[in-house]
Chains A and B, each alone.
Chain A
């Protein structure tokens, strides 16, 4: 597997989904170095329901907002705690309406296949007949389409944000060699099966999964010359973390905790870890696996003749291979790592960073870490930790210390505008979403290296990801069904439901209503002025600050979508523009 290498498609071979209509700017260019920020603003926190749904969910859809408002409880916080309890107990939330979007009628035919079916249908057929590229990548395309659908529509929103979290923790590049064909299994049985469950179970499943073994090469890790790739990332990215890496130090010099446990690992531990993991492979990883007419299955396969049969020393403890119980040495080490306080701290830091702030306080990190560590062998370990995290004052009171990443931002828009296009892996429109969104640098499962998408503001304020995410929002907010021209959003119906008197549908009122709906706060005066100016234009030629807009308090006929005013398109464009503001980006 060639990690760190992104699949390349030349621009000339990409579908021309967007008409090239370059707009020449009328204004003088402004230096990127010249302008000086004005320090007078502060980030205003929205109402609590908007706040919570922007962080633990993929944004406040009108339905989920109304649902929480309708829960019993004396205060909004009571209702939110009830909602958190329900979300943690996700199997009791009826999500059949989302599941109904994932059937064969919508192009989903691989999501329920077994590991062996995936392998033999999409990687290597038992009779060795060739597999079309489209068939090979089908499971990955279905997983991605399902990810958009679930993030947008699922009532189990916390489960979906946790799934996203663990996919990034155990990141596998979906377009890596061989991986597209098996990705359904990785998503379903490795990540989703454990997303609010037990960390050790997930770690064990990851270690044995075809996708991870293909990605980081452990499938061919042989004691004759061990391949360290997975072993190193298992310690650095999956369990103890880089903060507990002591480099080229003698293992005896690593400090110990009160129980005599080494606090971290050194190069020698990577050396032994790589040997320990030799022989952990899958059926089909070696050229000789089809000897004697055997049809490889892609199932986990322990190759004892490849396995290191000596004693490994990891964190100063000794692990010996036992031929009578051949997986025990690895299992023991994985359990030791899963129970290690360093792992709990690393996981808690990442969870708090995902849900609270780039730099969460040590107090909340310690609280979450303690729950993880004390319950490391409990089946609901992760849910217990999330219960503490989500009900903490840090979670409930922190706003704007994170910005939505491209996927989070795009889905938040979809949820708020009632985007109802049903992603379908067989349809070209779904592929178009891929082309337009992929340049944001945030397309699901497409981070090429094993550390997962970055989760700090600094990374996502880069100009490329901002512009490309805005552009995607600009595009899908105006998307319509090709034949009927019916928009794929409910912006018009949400508007006319709210404004019972059509005379109230004015530029000013539309801006005020939609801004507060989308951002959770009223617009500041400057933003209101510019957006109302835009919404009151009657012709695109009126643009610029010296235009001649009609009155901002004149009614706008939303039944009309004709030249030159294009009233419906203008409203869609207004909504999209609000979603591109800094205020919308916070969570």
Chain B
């Protein structure tokens, strides 16, 4: 059988030698199911590291939830209902005033909110919960690749020779792309090249290093080769002279720089399909009001600028998903702040969202809280991500992307392709191909 080698990836990234990297099968999926669909969105996945306080970002605004929130759970920390911003048509919840641009996106029907999402099994450890989300697993597992790695393994639309299909605009990488050697991790495009040496020799140093690594005899040489290939592309783009669409203004903050880099790279036509954007600081055990205020301001302004920028030229062709590893404790702590919790809202920003709130808010009454402490989870976060993958990315292989997941439930958060979930990717390819 013809060997398909659309993509190469290093299984277990260094733990397994390249002997394990055979001919890959992904072009098969491409030919099998592409049908008449025309391509995928740009997916931007914004991860709020540290545990964003959903009850502070999207606070209750009326009814029993508000009374419980104001009087019992957060007597000195709540956002009063005459301060939280109105979300049209939904009197039960408001938006934190620092996130005015998010409220505007919501009211413009460009953003929807899903209540009470999370891992189906509670875990209050940052590092465990984050790892499970990044690996796309429900709990402890031996997964050796990230969920985005497996998304690309099974992607239908990714071009055969995509230049830079995925970007992590950050100083360090993430397990979401674990074992995907094709991901570019890059915090600052302006310095992404060997341009710090003696003027006479620095360019030739990069050429020499590139030539050495063309013989990618080890995983380390292969990753160096990928880095140098990406550097050549990055250096050909004019990063300093960029005019965002619609007069959008990115805030002067790291999340602003990150999203601007995503937009610039996307518009440079390098086949960018997924950007994973980690942004930290949300672990507000102390001084929550000030810290949260600054973070929410930066996030809100950056997301709004990104939406405006891309909407000018790529209307309807991009989707932003915003998630955190968990919500925070419903009860405030002794520092007028909050500890780790469980259920939390997710945001989806797109021209194709089904506006409003989705999912079910479980309530804040003592007997409604998870173990009497946290907002409970009523929506498996994988249902949300899967809906975006099916309808906007056209990838049906949910069982491969999320191992063990077999009960996708459509919430109706977004419109798009009528792709039906397929949980059998692994068995299809195990029987159809021999590695090597």
- Bound-state CA distance A216–B186 (Å) is 29
Task: Tell me the minimal C-beta distance from A303 to chain B in angstroms.
Answer: 12
B233 (CB) vs chain A CBs: closest residue: A29
The answer to whether A38 touches B188 (Cβ under 8 A) is no
A-contact 0/1 string along B197-220, CB 8 Å cutoff: 111111111111101110111111
The answer to whether B208 touches A534 (Cβ under 8 A) is yes
Q: In the complex, how many residues of chain A place their beta carbon closer than 8 angstroms to a beta carbon of chain B?
A: 110
Q: Which residues of B contact A6 (CB under 8 A)?
A: 171, 254, 280
Contact pick for A226, options B183, B230, B280, B334, CB 8 Å: B334
B371 (CB) vs chain A CBs: closest residue: A248
**Known contacts A37-B21, A359-B15: A23-B202 contact under CB 8 Å:** yes
The answer to whether A29 touches B14 (Cβ under 8 A) is no
Q: Which residues of B contact A358 (CB under 8 A)?
A: 14-15
The answer to whether B198 touches A569 (Cβ under 8 A) is yes
Q: Which of A104-112, A114-122, A200-208, A455-463 contacts B (4 or more CB under 8 A)?
A: A455-463
Q: Which residues of A contact B81 (CB under 8 A)?
A: none
Q: Which residues of A contact B218 (CB under 8 A)?
A: 37, 41-43, 582
B-contact 0/1 string along A413-439, CB 8 Å cutoff: 000000000000000000000001001
A543 at the interface (CB under 8 A from B): yes
The answer to whether A38 touches B282 (Cβ under 8 A) is no
The SS class assigned to the B binding surface is loop
- Bound-state CA distance A226–B338 (Å) is 10
The answer to whether A33 touches B235 (Cβ under 8 A) is no
A25 at the interface (CB under 8 A from B): yes
The answer to whether B213 touches A582 (Cβ under 8 A) is yes
- Considering only residues 153-176 of chain B, those with a C-beta below 8 Å from chain A are 158, 160-165, 168, 170-173
Q: Which residues of A contact B13 (CB under 8 A)?
A: 457-458, 461
Contact pick for A245, options B10, B128, B172, B226, CB 8 Å: B128
- Bound-state CA distance A566–B281 (Å) is 47
B88 at the interface (CB under 8 A from A): no
A363 at the interface (CB under 8 A from B): no
Q: Which of B116-124, B354-362, B420-428 contacts A (4 or more CB under 8 A)?
A: B116-124
A566 (CB) vs chain B CBs: closest residue: B200
Contact pick for B171, options A248, A464, A472, A573, CB 8 Å: A464
- Bound-state CA distance A478–B284 (Å) is 44
B196 at the interface (CB under 8 A from A): yes
The answer to whether A242 touches B128 (Cβ under 8 A) is yes
The answer to whether A544 touches B207 (Cβ under 8 A) is yes
Contact pick for B285, options A39, A229, A461, A577, CB 8 Å: A229
Q: Which residues of B contact A27 (CB under 8 A)?
A: 232
Task: Tell me the minimal C-beta distance from B302 to chain A in angstroms.
Answer: 12
The answer to whether B339 touches A228 (Cβ under 8 A) is yes
The answer to whether A21 touches B195 (Cβ under 8 A) is yes
Contact pick for A439, options B184, B187, B206, CB 8 Å: B187
The SS class assigned to the A binding surface is loop
Task: Tell me the minimal C-beta distance from A289 to chain B in angstroms.
Answer: 16
The answer to whether B195 touches A41 (Cβ under 8 A) is no
Q: Which residues of B contact A440 (CB under 8 A)?
A: 171
The answer to whether B202 touches A465 (Cβ under 8 A) is no
Contact pick for A526, options B179, B191, B212, B371, CB 8 Å: B212
**Known contacts A458-B179, A582-B220: A33-B6 contact under CB 8 Å:** yes
Which of A3, A226, A441, A570 gathers the greatest number of chain B CB atoms within 10 Å?
A3
Which of B164, B229, B233 gathers the greatest number of chain A CB atoms within 10 Å?
B229
The answer to whether B204 touches A534 (Cβ under 8 A) is yes
The answer to whether B161 touches A34 (Cβ under 8 A) is yes
Contact pick for A566, options B21, B201, B285, CB 8 Å: B201
- Bound-state CA distance A336–B432 (Å) is 55
A373 at the interface (CB under 8 A from B): no
The answer to whether A225 touches B184 (Cβ under 8 A) is no
Q: Can you list 16 contacts pairing A with B, beta carbon distance less than 8 Å?
A: A4-B50, A22-B193, A23-B193, A29-B163, A32-B165, A32-B230, A33-B161, A37-B219, A39-B19, A41-B217, A229-B283, A232-B124, A451-B127, A454-B172, A464-B185, A466-B224
List 7 tightest A-B contacts by C-beta distance, closest first: A41-B217, A5-B281, A462-B173, A4-B280, A582-B220, A4-B50, A441-B171
On B, residues with C-beta under 8 Å from A are 5-8, 10, 13-15, 17-19, 21, 49-50, 121-128, 158, 160-165, 168, 170-173, 178-179, 181-188, 190-209, 211-213, 215-227, 229-233, 235-236, 252-254, 257, 280-287, 291, 295, 331-335, 337, 339-340, 371
Known: A566-B198, A576-B205. 7 other contacts (CB 8 A): A4-B282, A21-B195, A436-B196, A441-B171, A457-B219, A566-B201, A586-B220
